[in-house]
């Protein structure tokens, strides 16, 4: 099988994003657009991945590591950007896939279809991915002949009225014969409305050499180009629709799919039930038979089987929730191990902690993990019972089976099976309330 190299263009300034960071780093479902593309080309086992960036885009370099980087000194157009990648493709004779960093939703199936089309007739120099959007906007137009083969791509800025009326548009994605790419790119000029080196010109150049060019049609939803924040939100919506469908197909129940937001890497077990208004940040893995109740926010968290989370739970990075654990409403957990069957049912903060198996943490318990400078750990043993409104001042440990009386502030370690209670003595004055009310009533009636 012939090899594939992917060239992802990301050197454009993305001015329409009105952002201080490069466009391709803007995220969809918690992952940079450029990384979505890299993940997709990785599924094709591309032999080379080259990302074209502008000088100084070190954050893009870090994001795409270990992909190869090519620097385009000045953003002189998409053809000029591909030229910057050519030195890395010296001697490569397979198929070169050119992808735009701002078109992140393209699927593996579509790319495979393009590669197949390119290989069907070895003469085919270029395969372009076209689509027929409802509103063709300012996309380049694909000019085809009576056989449906491609003759030229005309940029919107250069198109006449007849060409603008063409509904078949350029998505920007191309499969190019690696043996011919150099000679095609070499001939691109910049005599056009924008004075740029358009990659799209290689179609006409190939046709002049009598080399066939083809169109593969794709679906509008996967070819949306993100040029501004409105399109970024549209791309997010499309991605979320995909993830929701995928989650349901794999055996999760989403009571109101439209209100559940996934990250690109959310992993769900079987028979997980997700109630409305749940948000998954990156790094969440959930076991089987788990229920995530309404209005919960989860990130960087693993959850075992048959756990119950929420409603209104907040699970932050490093929360490890074992099987059968119950996390109730208004509970925040960060960097903490909750062992099998532990319960934190109401209004608590558990951070930098271990909660042993079957321990019960009462309402309003707070692990005081931070002294303004450093973080400290709270360790709670199996079967311990922490009464409501307890402050656990870390570092502190409560051994297995101990009981902490409600309202305590715990600063010293508590031994196994002990009762620890920290509270002022209670004072009770018989009849005091009745006397107080009588006195007040008398004063009022005067
Ligand atoms: C491009 C196509 C247009 C197509 C549209 C699809 C050209 C000339 N036009 O237009 O036919 O319909 O995409 O979305 O190719 N980039 C560089 N270096 C540059 C210029 C751009 O790396 O000098 C990168 C950008 O970062 C971006 C991609 O190439 O990821 C596309 O550039 P953009 O300016 O968005 O092109 P469009 O005007 O959208
Ligand atoms: Mg664009």
Ligand number, closest to the Cα atom of 71? 1
Q: What global pTM score does this model have?
A: 0.91
Q: For residue 356, tell me if it sits in a domain.
A: yes
Distance (Å) of CA 213 to CA 46, 50, 123, 190, 222? 22, 24, 9, 21, 22
CATH (domain of 373): 2.160.10.10
Ligand 1: nearest atom to the Cα of 54: 22
List, for residues 252-262, the tens digit of each pLDDT value.
999 999 999 99
Instruction: Calculate how far, in angstroms, residue 419's C-alpha sits from the geometric centre of ligand 2.
Output: 66
d(CA 284, CA 269): 11
d(CA 410, CA 246): 47
Distance (Å) of CA 3 to CA 46, 65, 178, 245? 7, 21, 10, 32
| Same-domain check for residues 206 and 273 | no
| Same-domain check for residues 337 and 200 | no
| Same-domain check for residues 164 and 283 | no
Residue nearest to atom 29 of ligand 1 (CA): 9
CATH (domain of 57): 3.90.550.10
| Same-domain check for residues 184 and 318 | no
| Same-domain check for residues 176 and 319 | no
**pLDDT beyond 70 at 110:** yes
Ligand number, closest to the Cα atom of 106? 1
| Residue percentage of the chain with pLDDT more than 70 | 100
| Same-domain check for residues 198 and 266 | no
Site residues for ligand 1, CB cut-off 6 Å: 9-12, 23, 52, 72, 75-78, 80-81, 100-103, 139-140, 153, 155, 169-172, 198-200, 225, 227
Count of C-beta atoms within a 10 Å radius of residue 429: 8
Instruction: Tell how strand 68-71 and strand 48-53 pair up.
Output: parallel
Query: What are all long-range contacts of 136-141, with beta carbons under 8 Å and residues at least 24 apart?
Result: 136/164, 136/166, 136/167, 136/169, 139/169, 139/170, 139/171, 139/225, 140/169, 140/170, 140/172, 140/200, 141/166, 141/168, 141/169, 141/170
List, for residues 20-53, the tens digit of each pLDDT value.
999 999 999 999 999 999 999 999 999 999 999 9
Instruction: Calculate how far, in angstroms, residue 60's C-alpha sits from the geometric centre of ligand 2.
Output: 18
Query: Which one, of 170, 167, 202, lies nearest residue 186 by Cα?
Result: 202
Instruction: Calculate how far, in angstroms, residue 97's C-alpha sits from the geometric centre of ligand 1.
Output: 15
Which of 6, 12, 75, 135 to mutate for ligand 1's pocket (most ligand atoms within 8 Å of CB)?
A: 12
CA dihedral 104, 106, 112, 116 (to 10 degrees): -100
Structure tokens at 236: 């997010």
- When pLDDT is averaged across residues 280-304 and rounded to a whole number, the result is 98
Listing DSSP states for 260-278 in one string gives EE--TT-EE-TT-EE-SSE
Q: For residue 75, tell me if it sits in a domain.
A: yes
Instruction: Calculate how far, in angstroms, residue 58's C-alpha sits from the geometric centre of ligand 1.
Output: 21
Q: How far apart are the first and last CA of the chain?
A: 104
List, for residues 169-185, the tens digit of each pLDDT value.
999 999 999 999 999 99
Residues with CB under 5 A from ligand 2 (ion): 102, 225, 227
Question: φ and ψ at 111, to 5 degrees?
Answer: -65, -40
Ligand number, closest to the Cα atom of 224? 1
Q: For residue 61, tell me if it sits in a domain.
A: yes
Catalytic, 297? Answer no
Number of structural domains in the chain: 2
The whole domain housing 140 covers: 4-223
List, for residues 306-321, the tens digit of each pLDDT value.
999 999 999 999 999 9
| Same-domain check for residues 205 and 262 | no
d(CA 320, CA 3): 42
Q: For residue 20, tell me if it sits in a domain.
A: yes
List, for residues 45-77, the tens digit of each pLDDT value.
999 999 999 999 999 999 999 999 999 999 999
Residue nearest to atom 14 of ligand 1 (CA): 225
**pLDDT beyond 60 at 1:** no
d(CA 322, CA 73): 52
- When pLDDT is averaged across residues 328-343 and rounded to a whole number, the result is 98
| Same-domain check for residues 270 and 359 | yes
Ligand 1: nearest atom to the Cα of 22: 26
């Amino acid at each position: 099988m012939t090899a594939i190299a992917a060239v992802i263009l990301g050197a454009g300034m993305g001015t329409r994003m009105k952002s201080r960071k490069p466009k391709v780093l803007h995220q969809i479902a918690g992952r940079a657009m450029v990384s979505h593309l890299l993940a997709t080309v990785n599924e094709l086992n591309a032999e080379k991945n080259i990302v074209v960036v502008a000088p100084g885009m070190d954050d893009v370099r870090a994001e795409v590591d270990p992909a190869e980087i090519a620097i385009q000194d000045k953003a002189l157009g998409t053809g000029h950007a591909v030229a910057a990648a050519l030195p890395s493709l010296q001697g490569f004779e397979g198929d070169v896939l050119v992808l735009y960093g701002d078109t992140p939703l393209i699927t593996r199936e579509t790319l495979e279809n393009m590669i197949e089309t390119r290989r069907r007739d070895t003469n085919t120099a270029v395969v372009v991915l076209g689509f027929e959007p409802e509103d063709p906007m300012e996309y380049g137009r694909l000019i085809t002949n009576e056989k449906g083969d491609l003759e030229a791509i005309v940029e919107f800025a250069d198109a006449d009225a007849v060409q603008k009326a063409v509904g078949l548009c350029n998505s920007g994605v191309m499969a190019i014969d690696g043996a011919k790419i150099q000679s095609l790119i070499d001939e691109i000029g910049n005599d056009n409305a924008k004075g740029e080196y358009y990659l799209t010109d290689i179609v006409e150049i190939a046709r002049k050499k009598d080399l066939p060019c083809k169109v593969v049609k794709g679906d509008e939803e996967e070819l949306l180009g993100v040029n501004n924040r409105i399109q970024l939100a549209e791309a997010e919506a499309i991605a979320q629709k995909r993830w929701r469908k995928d989650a349901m197909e794999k055996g999760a129940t989403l009571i109101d799919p439209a209100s559940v937001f996934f990250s690109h890497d959310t992993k769900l077990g079987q028979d997980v039930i997700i109630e409305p208004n749940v948000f998954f940040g990156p790094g969440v893995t959930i076991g089987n038979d788990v229920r995530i109740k309404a209005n919960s926010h989860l990130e960087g968290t693993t959850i075992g089987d048959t756990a119950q989370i929420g409603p209104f739970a907040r699970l932050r990075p490093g929360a490890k929730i074992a099987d059968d654990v119950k996390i109730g409403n208004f509970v925040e957990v960060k960097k903490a191990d909750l062992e099998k069957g532990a319960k934190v049912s109401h209004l608590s903060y558990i951070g930098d902690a271990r909660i042993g198996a079957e321990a019960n943490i009462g309402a309003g318990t707070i692990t005081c993990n931070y002294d303004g400078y450093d973080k400290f750990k709270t360790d709670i043993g199996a079967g311990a019972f922490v009464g409501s409104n307890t402050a656990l001042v870390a570092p502190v440990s409560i051994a297995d089976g101990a009981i902490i009386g409600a309202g305590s502030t715990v600063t010293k370690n508590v031994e196994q099976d002990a009762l620890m209670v920290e509270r002022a003595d209670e004072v009770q004055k018989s009849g005091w309330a009745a006397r107080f009310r009588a006195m007040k009533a008398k004063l009022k009636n005067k």
